[in-house]
């Protein structure tokens, strides 16, 4: 007897489909492990329902910079292990979370020098998916090893800097008025 659900379950283990490569905060607890440094990415928000535009910098001829425009908002792109999805994902972290991570790193109780972080964190999101979202970062009480599945997936990922460079290049290619000096070839 053939069963489509069984087939999908077997195949998903080999091909990892059905699992997003992008992390999205859910309401409540989001248990994760930070795996890589964060690379800052500025974004221009052009209005409700319009996809934000990656900023390549005013000095590089970003077309979103004019007298009436809002400044780009920074977010930090990094890799994390999402325990719920059991998947290494790219995540865009806001300033408040990066600030909390910096405070943890400097706290004698939670100090760490290398990445991946030696312990998990739970990021509590209130009003997730809205402009009024608030985050609280709670560290685990002890260090722990990364799950083997996480280590295997992370080893196959491009460096996060390459991911961000690709985003910026894609943004540049959508507008011919950008400085050619920004293009790395």
- pTM for this structure? 0.80
- Does 149 map to a domain? yes
pLDDT in tens, 90-99: 999 999 999 9
Q: How many domains does the chain have?
A: 1
| Contact between 33 and 85 (Cβ < 8 Å) | no
Higher pLDDT, 124 or 10: 124
Identify whether 97 is part of a domain: yes
Per-residue confidence (pLDDT) for residue 13, from 0 to 100: 62
Is residue 6 situated within a structural domain? no
Q: Domain of 68?
A: 21-175
Q: Note the pLDDT of residue 178.
A: 47
pLDDT at 183 over 50: no
* Dist CA 103 CA 107 (whole Å): 6
The answer to whether residue 185 is domain-embedded is no
């Amino acid at each position: 007897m053939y069963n489509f659900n069984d087939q999908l379950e077997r195949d998903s283990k080999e091909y990892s489909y059905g699992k997003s490569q992008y992390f999205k905060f859910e309401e409540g607890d989001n248990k994760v492990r930070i795996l890589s440094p964060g690379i800052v990415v500025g974004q221009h928000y052009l209005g409700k329902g319009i996809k934000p535009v990656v900023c390549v910098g005013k000095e590089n001829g970003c077309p979103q910079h004019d007298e009436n425009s809002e400044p780009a908002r920074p977010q930090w792109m990094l890799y994390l292990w999402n325990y719920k999805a059991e998947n290494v994902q790219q995540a865009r972290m806001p300033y408040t979370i990066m600030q909390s991570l910096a405070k943890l790193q400097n706290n004698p109780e939670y100090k760490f020098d290398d990445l991946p972080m030696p312990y998990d964190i739970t990021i509590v999101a209130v009003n997730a998916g809205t402009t009024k979202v608030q985050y609280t970062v709670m560290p685990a009480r002890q260090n722990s090893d990364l799950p083997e599945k996480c280590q295997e997936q992370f080893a196959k990922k491009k460096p996060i800097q390459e991911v961000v460079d690709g985003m910026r290049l894609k943004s540049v290619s959508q507008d011919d008025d950008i400085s050619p000096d920004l293009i790395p070839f």
